[in-house]
């Protein structure tokens, strides 16, 4: 039987195991999130910056970031300039998924029969 031992002496990262045990995430997304959580706070977290330190191309990094965004581990907010034009995006990285607050809250439908403004006729030919 093969046994693997992990030797941690220096330069290691402490992070939540939540994303590592999330079966809904691809291995690529798990690895990218682990890497992002291990980087210093002042790191260049742009797609180009992440591409620079990885072998994958920018499209693969973009796809993994999108997957993490859909799962709630990354939250994107759009920035606008003084004229209201989109200037860029700001990403916040979390160790555990955040609930999306972007979705509109739906009201409970009433159980009563709705009143129509113009009732339809039973026999439209008359």
Q: Which domain holds residue 58?
A: 19-93
Total structural domains within the chain: 1
**pLDDT tens-digit map of 70-121:** 999 999 888 888 888 888 878 889 999 998 655 555 556 555 666 656 666 6
* Confidence bin at 126 (pLDDT 50/70/90): low
HEC-encoded secondary structure of 12-67: CCCCCCCHHHCCCCCHHHHHHHHHHHHCCCCCCCCHHHHHHCCCCCHHHHHHHHHH
User: Would you state the pLDDT for residue 89?
Assistant: 79
Asked whether residue 118 is assigned to any structural domain, the reply reads: no
CATH of the domain at 57: 1.10.10
Please give the backbone phi and psi of residue 16, each rounded to the nearest 5 degrees, phi first. Answer: -70, 150
Task: Specify the pTM.
Answer: 0.69
Q: Which SS3 state, helix, strand or coil, does residue 15 take?
A: coil
Asked whether residue 4 is assigned to any structural domain, the reply reads: no
- For the chain, the distance separating the N- and C-terminal CA atoms, rounded to the nearest angstrom, is 86
Asked whether residue 107 is assigned to any structural domain, the reply reads: no
Is 70 exceeded by the pLDDT of residue 13?
yes
């Amino acid at each position: 039987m093969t046994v693997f031992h992990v030797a941690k002496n220096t330069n290691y990262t402490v992070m939540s195991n939540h994303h590592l045990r999330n079966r809904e995430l691809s291995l690529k997304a798990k690895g990218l999130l682990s890497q992002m959580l291990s980087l210093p706070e002042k790191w260049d977290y742009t797609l180009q910056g992440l591409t620079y330190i990885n072998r994958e191309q920018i499209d693969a990094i973009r796809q993994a970031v999108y997957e993490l965004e859909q799962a709630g581990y990354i939250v994107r907010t759009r920035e606008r300039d003084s004229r209201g034009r989109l200037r860029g995006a700001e990403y916040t990285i979390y160790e555990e998924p955040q609930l999306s607050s972007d979705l509109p809250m739906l009201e409970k439908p009433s159980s009563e029969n709705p009143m129509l403004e113009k009732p339809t006729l039973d026999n439209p030919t008359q």
